[in-house]
Structure 1
Amino acid sequence: MKKAKDILKHLFNPFNDKLQEKRCLKKIIALMPRKYNKYITSYSLKGEILYINVSHPALRQEIFYNKNIIFSIIKTLHKANQCNSINPKKIVTFYKYQKPLAPPKEIKFYIKEAGKFEIKTKKENLRKKFEEIKNLINSKPG
């Protein structure tokens, strides 16, 4: 019988590169200065370009001008033999306005009495069955 570790390794093997890439990107963002990383909403690596989405347009420019911080973090990780697969040549920051979520609207429920419903069927045998059900509901107390 195979061990659980071997089974998980086999299952995640096709996705291992992407998982490792996401872990490394998360580590890079976490090592950035706090004033930057708390406004970063998403990040991805496509080819040799690192895309960073921020929640404020001024921060977009600031990260773009101080992108050497990100490159120095990546170099430091490479020296420690970590995240060697990530080697972006270019960093692109972008800002996309997102409307704040609207509060949910109040949901109103309209409750009809159980025995008062319309029978809209055209088939006579179904109409008789519905009439029986309606009479049973109306005959019960409560």
Structure 2
Amino acid sequence: MRVAAPPPRKRPHTVKAIFGFSHPNNQHAKPNEPFSQLLKVEARDNSGKLVRDALIRFQVDAGTGSKFRTPTPGRTADTDTDENGVAAAPELVARPTPGKATITVTAPDGKGRAPAAYLAHVQVSN
């Protein structure tokens, strides 16, 4: 018996802007270790209201080697905003060599969206 896939979930509002929180920006971690704080953003609509159940995409820039800890680790992690309009990325694991990575946050199904960005640093191991 074949089971039909559930219908796609309706998204209630269009995300106009994404605002990052300053406290997890410019984090430092040793190679191959997780960063200490999760990256979080707020999603807002055209009237400035927080948007719940909005799809948010966190993406690490190419070539850094840093990855999100998900069932299939990778550079991209999609998550939904909660009832307060806040989305948190999965744990981010530092690249294997020292350097920096930029994480861009967007709302892929929003129109007129403004992305947020974070900077993460991988420090030399002692």
TM-score (norm 1): 0.22
Q: Greater relative contact order: 1 or 2 (C-alpha under 8 angstroms, separation 6 or more)?
A: 2
Whose helix proportion is higher, 1 or 2? 1
TM-score (norm 2): 0.23
Whose strand proportion is higher, 1 or 2? 2
